[in-house]
Chain A
Amino acid sequence: MNKVTTSTLIIFFLIASWVFYLTNIKKDDSLTVRYYSLSELANESNDIKKIKVGGYIKPNSINISEEDQLEVSFFVYQNNDSIKVTYYGIRPDLFKDDAEVVVAGSYANSLISATELQTKCASRYEGDLKNIEKI
């Protein structure tokens, strides 16, 4: 084999392993996170290192710590299931009762320790026309 063929083979081998690696990213939780539905998670007895879940904030469940304004706990609910969430950090603008949220973090002992907290945008700007007059 000459040099060119050898190099070509090595390159192909490297690319093939890379592609193989890419098809397996689902198993690597440093790269990807699975979305769970709230009911799926509420019935889960095992701890899960990384999760992402969506739901609504249960009214009157938001509890902001007196000592540290950035510490908060609340319940997310969907249909009949609800789970407690703790979060430390600045809360998004639209964070309030019944807001739709997506949280990401870890799940242990029926509790979500969130590292990410996002609210879904309630309204888009491209809405109906205003300032109109019917004739």
Chain B
Amino acid sequence: MVSQIGSIAISLAGGLIFSSFIFLGLFKKSNNQTYLQVAERAILSTSYCIFLAFFCLLNELLISNFNLQYVAQYTSYETPVFFKITALWAGQAGSLLFWSFITALFSVTYIFTTLKKLRALKFHSYIILSFIFSFFIFLSNFIANPFEPISSDIIVQNGNGLNPLLQNFFMAIHPPILYVGFTGSAIIFIMALSASISKDISFEWVQSIRRWSLFVWTFLSAGIILGGYWAYNELGWGGYWAWDPVENSSLMPWLTLTAFIHSSMIQEKRGMLKKWNFLLATSTYILVILGTFITRSGVISSVHSFTAENLGPMFFTFLAILILYTFFWFFKRKSYLDTPDKIDSFTSREGGFLYNNLILILMCFTIMWGTLFPILSEAWDGNKIYVGASYFNQLNIPIGLVLLFLMGIGPLLSWNYTSQSVLLNRFKLPFSVSFVSGIGYIIFSSSFQLYVFVAIMGVSFTLSSILGEFYKSYKKQKRASNFFDALIRMFLSNRHQNGGYIVHIGIVLLFIGFIGRAFEVEKEFSLSPGEQIYFSNYVFKLNSIKSEARDNHYAFLSEIDVVDSSTNQLIVNLKPEKRIYFYWNSDPEKRQPHSELDIYSTIQKDIYSIFSGYDSQKNIGYFKIMINPLVNWVWIGGVLMVIGSLFAFWPSRRNS
């Protein structure tokens, strides 16, 4: 019964969104405000129908109604409630409905908050919103319907259950957080286009689109970092970022959105760069759809790909329409978006933002080039070319280092123009700190690596520059009050800027984590119980390998003592496992081996152990040990980034 309601709700949503086009057309013809209002209600009703369908699907998952294909495929009676809920986005059909669900949430928010203030944008916003909405509703209705019943001649006694490998908290939560970011960027797209089409770019519009951008940015960042955290702790190849096409396609919109957040500040302060901002704001959503196309079409193989139904042509058409529409209006509104004001000097805050934009776009382009190169090359001359992590690392490290320094230089520049003497004066502190730490690195490190040297100088330069800014504003407050009061006032005095600085400190900490990658070492070896091996100042002694049948898998449990070879002290007892899921399956192809890691994690380094394989006849275990320095700084930096952007986003009393 409930599933029928859900199914009807999706169909109704389709009809309603279609009718909104008709009413918008009637409004265009007659200019009668009533039609616009009706169209608005049609979009709102569409959203409510999607909410209803979403909760119907949730209900079916919770009560395990295996008469639905989707429920039977992704859950079973044994699936824990938490993972029954997360099964909502575990498969293609569910994740598309989930996408519509978030679009619906944002549409309602956008209509009731932003469009209440920016009335002039209503008409064009509704057109674009209806178009985006109808695409996803079309997919849910005709291509991947989550309410598809199972064929009538079979009875499902129990569902397949969610893949145990996916039953991990971070695995479960990073996609929806990313989806919020992805869908949210649609609102930025809509705002940028509708304001340009209706020639109504106001100061309020800039403020509003900046708030949306910050919000979306927070979720994109959190999603990317959580994805990395999951990969590091669960996938077992010892890293958090592999330059996989799907990872790249979440990073590209992040880069353009980051660029937009900075350059729109110039528009907010000085009314400049409208064209550039238009392109950044629209390309963010276009890149999101490009990424979705890559993920769901199977044109590029990747661990993340869904391949069950072929959505490639659909997403490609959608992408092409978005791009054509954007360019059409860009050229049509070119003169409107022109601004007479020019940047006076490159040693100004605007100049700094401009450099930052160029660098971010260059990075985005480089990543896009590497991701699409295999397809382009094959189409060009038939040669299949593999672009590996080395491409992305080698090309992005220098760009990233320039960015790192820019983050420190930016706060030292004033708007309009910074005179040379002022600049030199402000540079003194960060420059000397950076210089000293660079010298320190040369003296204290045993081997010299150029990138590490530059990165250390960059980290200390930027960190001291930002902390110096904080200290300056603290001193201003200090005159009036005591220590804690001044500290709190300092943070609250200019939230946007301070939030930004906190994000920047977070990114500097990320860079500290990245520096650690230059010192990673790893070793693969085989040991029998009782044997030991020396590696990188540690002795690894395999005590035992035991086996055990558990609820949903069979496990080989190893126990390794890690001893510091210089002090002879036991540091930790690592217990990586080798698991076989579906071990009872008679078809060996269907059994799923999995290495469950054990990580000893400290602020300086992680000792990362993988039990890769077990030869039961010879009683030999295969292991891989990695020493990964400074990885924890990546997570600390990530948390700080999210805190910083929330801090900047939170409405201050003045605004409300």
* Interface residue ranges, A against B (CB under 8 Å): 3-4, 7, 11, 15, 18-19, 22, 25-26, 30-35, 52, 69-70, 89-91, 93-94, 104, 122-127, 129-135
Contacts and interface: CB of A to CB of B under 8 A. Distances in A.
A28 to B, nearest CB: 9
Given A11-B358, A18-B362, A32 B391 contact: yes
A34 B589 contact: no
Contacts of B620: 69
Contacts of B73: 126, 129
Chain B interface main SS type: mixed
B383 A34 contact: yes
B154 A132 contact: yes
B366 A15 contact: no
Interface stretch (B43-51, B157-165, B181-189, B512-520): B157-165
Contact of A34 (B72, B366, B384): B384
A32 B385 contact: yes
11 contacts: A18-B362, A22-B369, A25-B370, A32-B388, A33-B388, A70-B525, A94-B593, A125-B165, A131-B159, A132-B155, A135-B155
Contact of A132 (B156, B385, B387): B156
A69 B156 contact: no
Contacts of A33: 385-386, 388
A119 to B, nearest CB: 11
B639 interface: no
B346 A3 contact: yes
Given A70-B524, A123-B589, A135-B153, A35 B386 contact: yes
A32 B385 CA distance: 7
Nearest to B394: A31
Contact of B590 (A4, A30, A69, A123): A123
B208 to A, nearest CB: 31
Contact of B153 (A15, A25, A129, A134): A134
For this complex, into which size category does the number of interface residues on chain B fall? 35 or more
Interface in B81-103: 91
B373 A25 contact: yes
Contacts of B613: 90-91, 93
B385 A26 contact: yes
Contacts of A133: 154-155, 157
Contacts of B524: 70, 89-90
Chain B CB count within 10 A is highest, among A30, A31, A34, A122, for A31
Interface string B332-365: 0000000000111110000000000010001001
Contacts of A25: 370, 373, 387, 391
A132 B152 CA distance: 12
B362 A93 contact: no
Given A90-B624, A135-B155, A32 B308 contact: no
A97 B518 CA distance: 37
A7 B346 contact: yes
A4 B369 contact: no
Contacts of B365: 19, 22
Nearest to A134: B154
B95 to A, nearest CB: 13
Contacts of B91: 126
A52 B374 CA distance: 13
A69 B623 CA distance: 12
Contacts of B395: 22, 31
Given A4-B345, A15-B358, A32-B391, A93 B593 contact: yes
B386 A52 contact: yes
B390 interface: yes
B78 to A, nearest CB: 11
A130 B154 CA distance: 11
B526 interface: yes
Nearest to A120: B301
A32 B373 contact: yes
Interface string B610-650: 00110100101010100000000000000000000000000
A41 B644 CA distance: 54
Given A31-B387, A69-B615, 5 more contacts: A26-B377, A90-B612, A133-B154, A135-B153, A135-B155
B384 A35 contact: yes
A32 B391 CA distance: 7
Interface string B386-401: 1110110011000000
